[in-house]
C-alpha cells in the first residue's frame, strides 16, 4: 500500500494506484507501480462538479531546470486561488475569523457560502502527518 491509498482510507481525495507484474509477449518485465493522473477531469469524476471548477497545481517536470529553480504551475485552471491562500498564510492569521475564513467557515465551524474555501485543514494535517512519519521511517 502506498501513501495515497492510506490517504484515501482516511476519507480524503486521492489518486488510485496499484502494483502490476508486466508481461509482454510472454517475457516478464518486472513489477511496476501505476498511478492515476491527477487532473481536473478526475477531480470532477470523484468529487462532482465540472472540470472548470478545479485548479490543478503540479511542479514543473522539465529535467533541464534545477530542482531549486522549479515552480509549481497550474496544469488545469489557474493558480489565482493558490496565490491567495499563499499570501494569506505568509501574512499570517491574526485572529480566529481569518483562520476560519480561509477554510470557508464561520468561527463556530459552520460553512459560510460567502467565503471562498481555500484550505481543507483536516486533509492538510493528515497529509503532513503521514509525510513526516514516512520521512522519520526513511531516516531511521
Asked if the structure places residue 61 within a domain, the reply is no
Q: Would residue 44 count as lying in a domain?
A: no
Residue 31 lies in a domain: yes
Which element (helix H / strand E) includes 49? none
pLDDT in tens, 45-76: 999 999 999 999 988 877 777 777 888 889 99
pLDDT one-digit tens code per residue, 82-124: 999 999 999 999 999 999 999 999 999 999 999 999 999 999 9
Q: What share of the chain is helix, strand, coil (3-state, %, to 5)?
A: 40, 20, 40
The mean pLDDT value for 3-10 works out to: 82
25 lies in a domain?
yes
User: Residue 86: which of 97, 75, 71 has the closest Cα?
Assistant: 71
Domain around 116: 79-140
With bands split at pLDDT 50, 70 and 90, how would you rate the model's confidence at 134?
confident
Residue 67 in domain: no
Does the pLDDT at position 44 exceed 70?
A: yes
DSSP code at position 60: -
Strand partners, 27: 24
pTM of this prediction?
0.73
- Mean pLDDT across the stretch 6-32? 91
Q: Are residues 87 and 31 in the same domain?
A: no
Number of domains in the chain: 2
Q: Is 58 within a domain?
A: no
The reply to whether 48 falls in a domain is: no
User: Closest Cα to residue 76, out of 56, 96, 91?
Assistant: 56
Amino acid at each position: 500500500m502506498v501513501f495515497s491509498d492510506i490517504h484515501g482510507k482516511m476519507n480524503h481525495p486521492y489518486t488510485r494506484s496499484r502494483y502490476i507484474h508486466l508481461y509482454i509477449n510472454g517475457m516478464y518485465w518486472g513489477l511496476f507501480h501505476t498511478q492515476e493522473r491527477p487532473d481536473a477531469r478526475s477531480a470532477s469524476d470523484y468529487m462532482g462538479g465540472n472540470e472548470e471548477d478545479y485548479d490543478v497545481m503540479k511542479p514543473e517536470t522539465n529535467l533541464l531546470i534545477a530542482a531549486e529553480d522549479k515552480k509549481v504551475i497550474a496544469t488545469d485552471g489557474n493558480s489565482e486561488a493558490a496565490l491567495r491562500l499563499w499570501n494569506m498564510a505568509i501574512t499570517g492569521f491574526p485572529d480566529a475569523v481569518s483562520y476560519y475564513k480561509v477554510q470557508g467557515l464561520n468561527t463556530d465551524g459552520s460553512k459560510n457560502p460567502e467565503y471562498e474555501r481555500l484550505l481543507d485543514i483536516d486533509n492538510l494535517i493528515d497529509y503532513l502527518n503521514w509525510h513526516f512519519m514516512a520521512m522519520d521511517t526513511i531516516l531511521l
